[in-house]
Amino acid sequence: MLIQVVKSKIHRVKVTGADLNYIGSITIDETLMEASNIYEGEKVSIVNLNNGERLETYAIKGPRNSGEITLNGPAARKVHKGDIIIIIAYGTLTCEEAKTFKPSIVFPNEEDNSLT
């Protein structure tokens, strides 16, 4: 049997922008993507702690060490600059693999989204 488990998580980051006129996706600081093991183009779930919205989109790289977290396209209607969100990516594993798998979870500084 295969199950979906949390593979990657960026816990509590501040949204720095919302761009309705962009094609779609979420722009994530490249440093945060690397630290959390999220790949460009990977499907991610977004949970908005300010309003309870949940949505899915895909990740694109933002400038390294910029702290950028921007929701693009229709997702921009679900967040506001300054909202705190959680970004989650899932992986598919066998039940045996899931028993020992360790997800990549990062806890950035909520003020500037840095990993200090």
Q: Which residues are catalytic?
A: 25, 58
Q: Which SS3 state, helix, strand or coil, does residue 87 take?
A: strand
**Are residues 87 and 81 in contact, defined by beta-carbon separation less than 8 angstroms?**
no
Residue 73 annotated as binding?
Answer: yes
User: Is 18 part of any known ligand binding site?
Assistant: no
Q: If we measure between CA atoms, which residue out of 112, 5, 1, 90 comes closest to residue 46?
A: 90
* Residues contributing to the annotated binding site: 57, 73-75
Known binding-site positions for substrate: 57, 73-75
